[in-house]
Amino acid sequence: MYMEDVSREELENWAVYSPGYFDAIFPILQVDEYPKFMWLLTNHFQIERFVDQSWTYKIEWDPSHVGTIKGLSEWRMKAFEAMNELVYETWTGQGIETDRETALGCWDRGPELLRLKKLDPDAAISFKGVKGYLPMREKTNYNRRFNIRMKFIHHQPQKTGGPLNPVSVQWADYANFKRTGGAWSQLTHLFNALQNVLGAYPTRNHYLEDWRKKKHYFHAGFPRRNDPEAAYVEVRNFGLAVDRFCTLRRGFRMATKILQGGIYVNMITSINMFWGRNHNLYDVMLAVAQLCGFNAVDLKCVKHLESNLKYVQAKCSLSNLLPENLEKYPVKYYKVYGFSRVPASDLVVAKYERTFGGKFPKRTYDMNFFDFLEIFYGVNQFDRSRVDPKYANVPAVKVHPRYEFYLPPWLLTCKDGDKFPTAGKTKLGTLMHGRLQDIHKEELVKDRFKRIKQQLRERLDADPWLKMFGLVIDPNFHRVKGYRMPPPELFVANAATNALERAGEVRDNGWCLLNNQRLLSPAEGLGDFIVFTVEPITRKVAVNLMRAIHRTLQQNRIVVHGNFNQLADSITNLGFFKVENINDFATRLQEELNAYVTRRGCAPRLVYCVVYDKSRLYHAFKYILDFLMGIPSQWLVVHGMRDFNAQGRLDDLTFGVTEYGKRKLNNLVLKLNRKLGGKNVHLRSKWLSDTEEAALPGTMIFGSDVTHPTHEQPHSIASVVATNDMPPRTFGARCRVQEGYEEMIYDLEDMVCDLVRVFKQRNPQTDLEHLIFFRDGVSNEIYRDVLLQEVPRIYNGVQRGGGGNRVKLLLVLGMKRHHTRFMVAATNKCIDHGTAINDLNLPHQQNFYMSSHQAQWSHAKMGISRPVCYQVIVDQIGLTLNELQTMIYHSSFTYDKTYRSLFTAPASHYSHMACTRAKCYYLRIRSKPEDQRPPFPAEKRTRESRPYAPHVKSDLTPHINIRDTMFYL
């Protein structure tokens, strides 16, 4: 995917690497996933080629063959045994060799799947080349006489081409679909079928959900719930129409071989059902293509697959398997090129079962290398006698997919003193920074790379283990292309004529005001303000700071302080408060505000609070001003606002004299202007401009995020922000509290409904046509949960809010916590802002990396600027990749807290800030005695916890006066 509409600069010398961390640190150059696990749906055997011939045969069923047996389960098993005998006699009469115990080799399509101890799926799939199945029925009643039309499949067993060369499943019976009366379109059916198999994401359900009948079937009847020999079964669903096409089931039983150690693929056509074991992904794709009438080897099929579906090279989440010990998450196997703590091999264990930090410790364990090879190749294709016994205890790579980004595909260097971080991104950043400090000079970097490459070559030449299995070390680093996007057009107002003018540009990613310019739309109206101080801040310090702020406001032509001439009278000292005296601070603050309202007859327009350093008083301050009274407020920390070189006593501190201090005050003015209703900058863009020639009316931009529990917050907090004006600039916010570690937003429908209703009220002449939704904080493994749970809630919320049912949705997920970094290989510098990397996208998804900001630190030349990985989940608008990337990059310049561009889409970052602000309200409410506060939802989700009771406090949205402004800045 390339950008066609803009002039681009191709940067050929790009290198990508991911900083990885292990308990034992050693140089690693490359980590590859084994090809077999990118293809196969199982980790034991390979399916043989089948479906060479098929025919239909009618069998007459008589219930008298079974007799009178009490109990439905026993009766059905007897009926199935009798039917098995009937099939055996039929096949034997036709000269087909079979076995009496495994003659039928299938299950019936009753309300539950029937199992039979004598029916072994392992033997049924491969014995003597014959298999049969029943037609699909809603209910099958064996108490009456009826005729059964059974379809027989005959195949000749053939040897496969090995684990890396799977053969295709021949499946070309699409005439049955035509007989049902359905409209047949090869391309449409191919698209739908492949999308069902490959286009969705796996979900971990412990039950099978019938979404049409709104019922849940625990264990899916497979094995039966009343079977004491059956172990717990986990069901994996693939595709939005899983009940119509593909269902994967995995089970384990100790008593028999039923369901043991395998995955069974249930592929359903319109009238027939196939049961096969151990299909691989490539076979499923070819089978679907042939079912749709394509020849899987001709150019027409390949052309449609590549150009329209992009699924030919798909290595998707179908390879995520349940591990042998029925863990919660699947396990992937990797082979690592580099050095390990074991001299005999390059395979190192790095398995992570739990999240890092907090109450979830990390656990690692080794795996015998021979066991690993046996699982990888299968016992039938791997000969233990070929392996030297001295290599039997070499550990293998076994990585938890949730943390596979910690296993680096590309790594610069490691030191023996490095430890694996367990407390999140802070230690990760500290480790990476310390590592880069040792190699900050370009010459040292190049020399280090050369030494690593030379050591790897020497190791390869001397290691017989690598030669035995053909492990090739490539010391060259991975290179990708980057594409530069054009800079945005930013406009502000002329101070004299109020006409739009091009904003001044600075060298780095940002903009500035020229001498004759002001912000686009200053806040209107005058109003009184109050300044509260907390000791040790004195009145003189507060006066100096407020004068500097007022001076900066005047320079930007913003006049909001109506009583600035009485500045001394507006300052009130609240006293000195410790952490344990937060309640006293809140009481004193509320008393002063109530006295002001009683004295003046109205609330102040803006409230300041000046403190020396960060304090827990901030929670109480924001709770009272935002949540209870709805008054715009600003928390001022003197230690952060002072000039960089300001030292000495508090009364001698200066503000806004040096360039550092001026930049701080200018950023503060941007926040104040937006909180009071003004606008800072205008962006001329196709999606975000209000000019007639570039306008696209009826567009709302949403952002959502969820923050999870900490040591003081047992609940998760979710927030949704959305624009309520045209062009989309002002983001209102809605906040909720929900169960801890619950990633899906439960009240998303109500929040979207409320935000859409506000948009319709403020824009009555505008029809809502497009929704651009940025979802933050979602990992790969719950993409499908977003599709199945949050997308329907978005649509329902839009309809309830009056947006209609024709709104087009564009849902984009942004992932920030990954360890992929980019740098220019020729200069070892960070990539420039506005650079997109499209060549690392997944074959079956639309994703890309983009860096919309410029690193500003001294070690930025080492390539540690953080790009964001964007994943497009739903695209009904039809934006091209170029348009989407340009929109995200240009919108990053409209971030209202600084003159520089933001590293991600502003909507998603605003939602994160709203969660942080809602946390202040949550902690303040939770600190009250239990008899004085309403109950929150349960800390952990249970079946009875939803829907919430009426008295449960789940809404953390602030006062109605400010909830539709950008109060969270």
Strands 770-776 and 699-707, bridge-based pairing: parallel
Please indicate whether residue 143 or residue 283 has the higher confidence score (pLDDT): 143
Report CA 182 to chain centroid distance, whole Å: 37
Q: How confident is the model at residue 511 (pLDDT cuts 50, 70, 90)?
A: confident
- What are the CA-CA distances from residue 710 to residues 76, 403, 741 (Å)? 53, 21, 10
**Together in a domain, 464 and 393:** yes
Q: What is the DSSP string of 81-146?
A: HHHHHHHHHHHHHTT----STTSS-----SSS----TT--HHHHHHGGGEEEEPPP-S---TTS-E
Q: How confident is the model at residue 166 (pLDDT cuts 50, 70, 90)?
A: very low
pLDDT higher than threshold 50 for residue 199: no
Q: What are phi and psi of 819, to 5 degrees?
A: -115, 30
Contact 267, 246 (CB under 8 A): yes
**Together in a domain, 331 and 309:** no
Q: How confident is the model at residue 385 (pLDDT cuts 50, 70, 90)?
A: low
Question: Residue 844 has which token pair?
Answer: 């079956």
Q: Assign residue 542 the CATH number of its domain.
A: 3.40.50.2300
| Cα–Cα dist 804/127, whole Å | 57
Using omega within 30 degrees of 0 as the cis cutoff, is the peptide bond preceding 727 cis?
yes
Contact 511, 505 (CB under 8 A): yes
The rounded mean pLDDT for the chain is 61
State the helix-helix crossing angle for 281-291 and 186-198, rounded to 10 degrees: 160
**Together in a domain, 177 and 73:** no
The letter for the amino acid at 272 is N
- What are the CA-CA distances from residue 521 to residues 86, 102, 525, 824 (Å)? 85, 80, 12, 40
pLDDT for position 879: 81
- What are the CA-CA distances from residue 496 to residues 502, 513, 526, 740 (Å)? 15, 14, 20, 54
| Cα–Cα dist 248/292, whole Å | 21
Number of C-beta neighbours around residue 338 at 10 A: 20
- 849, β-bridge pairs: 837, 869
Query: Is 421 a domain residue?
Result: no
**Together in a domain, 799 and 921:** yes
Number of C-beta neighbours around residue 756 at 10 A: 26
DSSP category for residue 251? E
Quick one: three-class SS letters along 709-732?
Answer: CECCECCEEEEEEEECCCCCCCEE
- What are the CA-CA distances from residue 864 to residues 18, 27, 29, 427 (Å)? 10, 19, 18, 15
Q: What are phi and psi of 817, to 5 degrees?
A: -90, 70
Write down which residue in 127, 157, 187 finishes a domain. 157
Query: Is 898 a domain residue?
Result: yes
Query: Is 964 a domain residue?
Result: no
**Together in a domain, 754 and 898:** yes
Cα dihedral 643, 647, 648, 649, rounded to 10, equals: 20
Which one of 140-154, 477-491, 859-873 scores highest in mean pLDDT?
477-491
| Cα–Cα dist 221/76, whole Å | 14
Number of domains in the chain: 5
End-to-end CA distance of the chain: give it in Å, rounded. Answer: 36
Contact 277, 125 (CB under 8 A): yes
Handedness of CA 255, 257, 258, 263 (dihedral sign): positive
**Together in a domain, 150 and 189:** no
Q: Assign residue 921 the CATH number of its domain.
A: 3.30.420.10
**Together in a domain, 705 and 753:** yes
Write down which residue in 636, 651, 675 finishes a domain. 675
Contact 894, 690 (CB under 8 A): no
Report the candidate in 419, 412, 408, 409 with the shortest Cα–Cα distance to residue 439: 412
The letter for the amino acid at 83 is M
Domain that holds residue 353: 28-37+321-410+439-469
Query: Is 76 a domain residue?
Result: yes
- What are the CA-CA distances from residue 69 to residues 63, 73, 77, 79, 793 (Å)? 11, 10, 10, 10, 49
Q: How confident is the model at residue 487 (pLDDT cuts 50, 70, 90)?
A: confident
Number of C-beta neighbours around residue 669 at 10 A: 21
Report CA 350 to chain centroid distance, whole Å: 23
Q: How confident is the model at residue 950 (pLDDT cuts 50, 70, 90)?
A: low
Percentage above 90 pLDDT, the chain: 14
- What are the CA-CA distances from residue 272 to residues 86, 132, 192 (Å)? 21, 11, 18
**Together in a domain, 130 and 252:** no
- Only one residue has tokens 């803009």, namely 6
Report CA 340 to chain centroid distance, whole Å: 32
**Together in a domain, 191 and 303:** yes
- Only one residue has tokens 């020399």, namely 447
Report CA 542 to chain centroid distance, whole Å: 45
**Together in a domain, 395 and 313:** no
Query: Is 804 a domain residue?
Result: yes
**Together in a domain, 448 and 530:** no
Three-state DSSP at 932 gives: helix
pLDDT for position 9: 30
- Only one residue has tokens 């003018």, namely 501
Query: Is 827 a domain residue?
Result: no
| Cα–Cα dist 691/693, whole Å | 6
Which one of 167-171, 490-494, 503-507, 579-583 scores highest in mean pLDDT?
490-494
Question: Residue 534 has which token pair?
Answer: 């907390």
Query: Is 829 a domain residue?
Result: no
Per-residue pLDDT reduced to its tens digit, 99-157: 554 444 433 333 222 232 233 333 333 323 333 333 333 344 555 665 554 444 333 33
Q: How much is the average pLDDT of 782-803? A: 87
pLDDT higher than threshold 50 for residue 815: yes
**Together in a domain, 182 and 252:** yes
Query: Is 956 a domain residue?
Result: no
Write down which residue in 110, 130, 157 finishes a domain. 157
Report CA 857 to chain centroid distance, whole Å: 29
Please indicate whether residue 136 or residue 914 has the higher confidence score (pLDDT): 914
| Cα–Cα dist 826/831, whole Å | 11
Q: How much is the average pLDDT of 163-176? A: 27
| Cα–Cα dist 718/738, whole Å | 7
DSSP category for residue 4? -
